[in-house]
Amino acid sequence: MEPAAYVAAILSFLFLFSLHRLLGSDRHRKINGKNKEMQRLPPSPPAIPVLGHLHLLGKPIHAALARLAERYGPVFSLRLGSRETVVVSSAAHARECFTEHDVCFANRPRFPSLLLISFGGATLPMCGYGSYWRNLRRVATVQLLSAHRVSCMLPVISVEVRAMARRMFRSAAAAPGGAARVELKRRLFEVSLSALMEVIARTKTSRTEADADTDISPEAQEFMKALDVFIPLLSASNKWDYLPVLRWFDVFGVRSKILAAVTARDAFLRRLIDAERRRLDDDESEKNKSMIGVLLSLQKSEPEVYTDTTIMALCSSMFSGGAETTSTTAEWAMSLLLNHPEALKKAQAEIDACVGPSRLLNADDVPRLGYLQCIISETLRLYPVVPTLIPHESTADCAVGGHHVPAGTMLLVNVYAIHRDPGMWADPAAFRPERFEAGGGAADGLFMMPFGMGRRKCPGEALALRTLGLVLGTLIQCFDWGAVGGAAGVDMAEGVGITLPRDVPLEAMCKPRQGMLRVLQEL
C-alpha cells in the first residue's frame, strides 16, 4: 500500500472511531444518569477524540506524569486511547493501593506488545493474578530466590565480578597513561548476565583467549540487543498498544521488530534449557542443580504445570530483571559518583578501612560497608529501575484518595515522583547518601519502593541488592574514576522505556588505584 493510502485509511478510521465514541459515550452518560448517581472520578485533563490523553505523554513518561500531578493532584485520571488509567504520585496513596486494595490491583493489563514479549503473558512480572501467578511466585521465592539460594549464588557472582575487574585492569594497563576509556553499561551488563548464566544454567559465556579482554561476550551482546528492543516498547507511553490502527497496518514496524528480538531471545533460552536437560539425563542423581535443573525436575513430576514455555518464561524474567536491574542501577550510581567525587573518595576510604588493600572485598564485607549501602539507597531513590512500576489493573471497583476507580482501570504509580516529593525529602533532587546514614530514610518515616510494593513486589530484591553491593564496591575499591576528556561532570539525561536507562551510555576513564595494584596483578 502506498503512503498516501495509509494516511487515507488511518484518517477514515479515526473519523469513524471518533464518531462512534462520541455517540456511544453520550448514550452511556444518559443511561448512567437515569440509573445511578455519578461517582466522584479522579480529576482529568481535557481529552481529544480517539487519542484521549496520549498526546500528553511526553518522554520520559515519569517526568510528564509528574508535571500533570502538579496541576491535577496526586491522584488523577487519563484516557489512553480507549483505556482508562489512574495515576498515583504520592506515598500515602501508593500505600493505599498496595495495602487496602492490594488484591484489587494485583492484576496486569494485557497489552499487545506485552503478550508478544512475555510468552502470551506467561512471565512472572507480566502474568495475570490467579493460580498460575501464585504457583510461579511460590517457585520463585521458595526454589529460585530463597535466602539460602541467594547465599549460594554469591560465590559465583564474586567470581564474575573479579573477572570483570581483571579485564578492566588489563585494558587500563594497555592504555596510554594507564587509564582506559570504558563504556560501563556493557561491562556491567556482561558481569550480571555471566553470573546469572552460571547460577541459572550452570554454563559460562563463550569467551576465548583471543577475546578474553573484550568488554562484552557474544551471549551478553545477543541478550542486550533483545532488551534494547523490548524496553522502549514496554513503556506505558507506547501508542502501539492503545491504537488498534497502528497494529493493523504496523506502520512503524513494531510487530516485526518485537518478533525478531523474541526469536533471538528464545533461541538463547532454548540452548540453555536443552543443554541442562541433557546434563540431567546423564546424571539424574545430581544434588546441586541449577535453577533450570530445579525446574526440569519439577517438570517430570508435574509436566502439565511446568511446561517448556513456563520454564522459558521464568528464565526470561530472571535474566531480564536481574541483568537490567544491576547494570542500570550501577551505571546511575557511577554517574552520580563521577559528579560527586567527594562521595567517591568517602566510599573508597570506608572500603580501605574495612577491607584493606591486601584483598578484594567479598559478599560478607558488603553488609558492613554502611556508606556503600547509603550510595545504593540514594541511587535507587533518585533513579528507580522501573520509574512508574509495571502497570497494574483493577479487578473491581474501589476508591483511591476518595476517588472512584472502576474495575478494569489501569494503575500507574509514579515512583520517580514519590521519591522526589519535596514534602517528604529535603532537597529531593540532590544526591546525598548521608541522608540514609544512622538508619535515616525508613527510620525517619520516609517512603521508598524501588522494587514495588504488595504482593506483586519484585521477588529478586535481595539478589539485586547483594549483587549491586559486590559490583559497585569492587569498582570503587579497585579503580579511580574520571570523566572522559577531563569534563567537569557527566550528563545525567534520562532515556525512555519501562526501565530508566541513561539517554547516552556512560563512558568513563578507569585507572587502577595504586594501593590495589598487587591484588589486581594477581587476579
Contact 325, 464 (CB under 8 A): yes
Instruction: Round to whole Å and give the CA distance between 328 and 383.
Output: 9
Q: Can you say whether the dihedral through the CA atoms of 188, 467, 473, 427 is positive or negative?
A: positive
Return the ∠ at Cα 496 (arms to 493 and 500), rounded to 5°: 75
For 221-254, give the DSSP string. HHHHHHHHHHHHHTSTT-GGGT-HHHHHHTTT-H
pLDDT confidence of residue 217: 81
Contact 62, 387 (CB under 8 A): yes
248 and 374 housed in the same domain: yes
How many structural domains compose the chain?
2
43 and 28 housed in the same domain: no
pLDDT digit string, tens, across residues 433-470: 999 997 665 545 578 999 999 999 999 999 999 999 99
Secondary structure of 45-102 in the HEC alphabet? Answer: CCCECCCECHHHCCCCHHHHHHHHHHHHCCEEEEEECCEEEEEECCHHHHHHHHCCCC
pLDDT digit string, tens, across residues 482-507: 999 877 789 999 998 899 999 999 99
194 and 248 housed in the same domain: yes
pLDDT band at 289 (very low <50, low <70, confident <90, very high): confident
pLDDT band at 129 (very low <50, low <70, confident <90, very high): very high
Q: What's the chain's length in residues?
A: 523
The CATH number of the domain where 154 resides is what? 1.10.630.10
pLDDT confidence of residue 28: 40
151 and 32 housed in the same domain: no
Q: List CB contacts of 371: < 8 A, sequence separation 6 or more.
A: 346, 347, 350, 433, 437
29 and 45 housed in the same domain: no
pLDDT digit string, tens, across residues 175-208: 999 999 999 998 999 998 988 888 888 887 776 5
pLDDT confidence of residue 4: 47
Query: Nearest CA to 138 among 306, 335, 269, 24?
Result: 306
pLDDT confidence of residue 158: 94
* pLDDT > 70? residue 38: no
pLDDT band at 339 (very low <50, low <70, confident <90, very high): very high
Instruction: Round to whole Å and give the CA distance between 215 and 217.
Output: 7
Amino acid at 520: L
390 and 506 housed in the same domain: yes
pLDDT digit string, tens, across residues 65-123: 999 999 999 999 999 998 999 999 999 999 999 999 999 999 999 999 999 999 999 99
Average pLDDT over residues 303-314: 93
pLDDT band at 48 (very low <50, low <70, confident <90, very high): very high
What percent of the chain stands above pLDDT 70? 88
Chain mean pLDDT for the chain: 88
* pLDDT > 90? residue 283: no
1 and 72 housed in the same domain: no
343 and 412 housed in the same domain: yes
478 in a labelled binding site: no
434: its cell numbers: 548521608
Amino acid at 33: G
* pLDDT > 90? residue 213: no
327 and 456 housed in the same domain: yes
Task: Name which residue leads in pLDDT, 362 or 283.
Answer: 362
378 and 516 housed in the same domain: yes
Domain that holds residue 70: 39-521
Instruction: Round to whole Å and give the CA distance between 414 and 92.
Output: 12
185 and 69 housed in the same domain: yes
5 and 100 housed in the same domain: no
Bond before 60 cis per omega within 30 degrees: yes
